[in-house]
Amino acid sequence: MPRHFLTFQDISREELFKILDEADRMRADRKRQDQLLANKQIALIFEKPSTRTRVSFEVGVNQLGGTPIVLSGNEIQLKRGESPEDTARVLSRYVDGIMIRTFSHSALEEFARHARVPVINGLSDLYHPCQVLADFQTIRQAQIKLENMKLTFVGDGSSNVCHSLMEAVALSGGKMSVICPPVCRPHPDVIEHCAKKGLKVTVSDKWDEMQDTDVVYTDVWVSMGQEGLASQKRSALEAYGLNLQNTEKAKPGHILLHCLPAHKGEEVSADLFEKHAHTIFDQAENRLHAQKALFSLLYANLP
Ligand code: CP
Ligand code: NVA
């Protein structure tokens, strides 16, 4: 069975820290040409738009000696109704790995069940684990210990990024709070999974949870695929935009992370964003290093 990375449930705590250590080595030696993926073809499928994921995976696969094959969802038969199952079975005959950005998480699971090569989740409606590998690398780069940190996510608690953050904190051992309106709470299954792992995520519609926060995090209010809900989400989240005032209670020296793209004036004010821009763009850069490190985990033991 190939090794997939669809959520943080696919790796152990020890593996998470191994990936982060390897990602730091990749960052320290960023132009190194590796041979980990030599003679390997990696399909990169995008059913939704992307800047960071698209470019960081394509560059990363090249730097590891592999060949990326970028496919937009519109140009393959998935769009015309070919099943995830058949698509996975066909692609597994041609390529050595598949990264896919898609809508339905259960369709992604179905895809992975039938793939004979590793499948990486490049974002689904429910999770965005590759983003969070880079986020954790950035937190460590800021000298904040994952095991002791308090991370507070503000905004759409039901977003794929928030869910992956919750599951990753459940693995690493820090604390996590989500400040969101009642209609944007995280998915109950994700809360329950974290609770089983020993992480009780505090979810609140009050700002008090900002107290003692080491890492403040936000994501867009309207995720890709939710365009039809845009006005509902904007009005539910109106009072949950981050700004210089409402982040004042966070711990001195805290960092602000944003997965990007940012909608300044919605989830984050332009001045707060600029105050933390250096960290946010390090975070974007770390997508490249963290994903290359992920390939080391998935491929190091493969023939
Ligand atoms: N953060 C992130 O995944 O960005 P893209 O949508 O540009 O890939
Ligand atoms: N929650 C956002 C993340 C973008 C990287 C979305 O799904 O659009």
- Quick one: 122 and 181 in the same domain? no
pLDDT of residue 19: 97
Instruction: For residue 224, give the ligand 1 atom closest to its CA.
Output: 6
Residue 33 has pLDDT above 90, yes or no: no
Residue 301 has pLDDT above 70, yes or no: no
Q: Whose CA is nearest to atom 4 of ligand 1?
A: 52
- Quick one: 141 and 272 in the same domain? yes
- Quick one: 96 and 236 in the same domain? no
Let me know if residue 199 belongs to a domain. yes
Let me know if residue 3 belongs to a domain. no
The count of domains in the chain is: 2
Residue 30 has pLDDT above 90, yes or no: no
- Quick one: 58 and 19 in the same domain? yes
Residue 302 has pLDDT above 60, yes or no: no
Mean pLDDT of all residues in the chain? 97
- Quick one: 200 and 292 in the same domain? no
Q: Whose CA is nearest to atom 2 of ligand 1?
A: 52
Of 102, 180, 258, 259, the residue with max ligand 2 atoms within 8 A of its CB, to mutate for a pocket test, comes to: 259
Cα separation, 149 vs 164, in Å, equals: 16
Q: Whose CA is nearest to atom 6 of ligand 2?
A: 223
Q: Which of 27, 52, 96, 131 is catalytic?
A: 131
Q: Which of 129, 136, 124 is nearest to 217 (CA)?
A: 136
| H or E segment to which residue 277 belongs | helix 277-299
pTM, whole model, 2 decimals? 0.98
Residue 188 has pLDDT above 90, yes or no: yes
- Quick one: 169 and 242 in the same domain? yes
Q: Which of 101, 185, 187, 254 is catalytic?
A: 101
- Quick one: 174 and 80 in the same domain? no
Dihedral angle, C-alpha 6, 301, 139, 204, nearest 10 °:
30
* 61 close to 67: Cβ distance less than 8 angstroms: yes
- Quick one: 90 and 177 in the same domain? no
Domain that holds residue 112: 8-128+287-299
Question: Percent of the chain scored above 90 by pLDDT?
Answer: 96
Tokens of 156: 């759409």
Let me know if residue 166 belongs to a domain. yes
Let me know if residue 2 belongs to a domain. no
Which residues are 23's β-sheet partners? none
Residue 163 has pLDDT above 90, yes or no: yes
Is residue 261 reached through a cis peptide bond, with omega within 30 degrees of 0 on the bond before it? Answer: yes
Among this protein's residues, is 3 annotated catalytic? no
Let me know if residue 189 belongs to a domain. yes
Mean pLDDT for 40-58 is 98
pLDDT in tens, 192-218: 999 999 999 999 999 999 999 999 999
Query: DSSP labels for 5-69?
Result: BSSGGGS-HHHHHHHHHHHHHHHHTTTPPP-TTTT-EEEEEESS--SHHHHHHHHHHHHTT-EEE
Let me know if residue 109 belongs to a domain. yes
pLDDT of residue 303: 42
Mean pLDDT for 165-186 is 98
- Quick one: 137 and 173 in the same domain? yes
Mean pLDDT for 55-63 is 97
Mean pLDDT for 24-50 is 94
Is the CB of 269 within 6 Å of ligand 1?
no
- Quick one: 206 and 220 in the same domain? yes
pLDDT in tens, 94-120: 999 999 999 999 999 999 999 999 999
- CATH number for the domain that contains residue 209: 3.40.50.1370
Radius of gyration of the chain (CA): 19
Which residues are 80's β-sheet partners? none
pLDDT of residue 32: 81
- Quick one: 88 and 141 in the same domain? no
- Quick one: 240 and 119 in the same domain? no
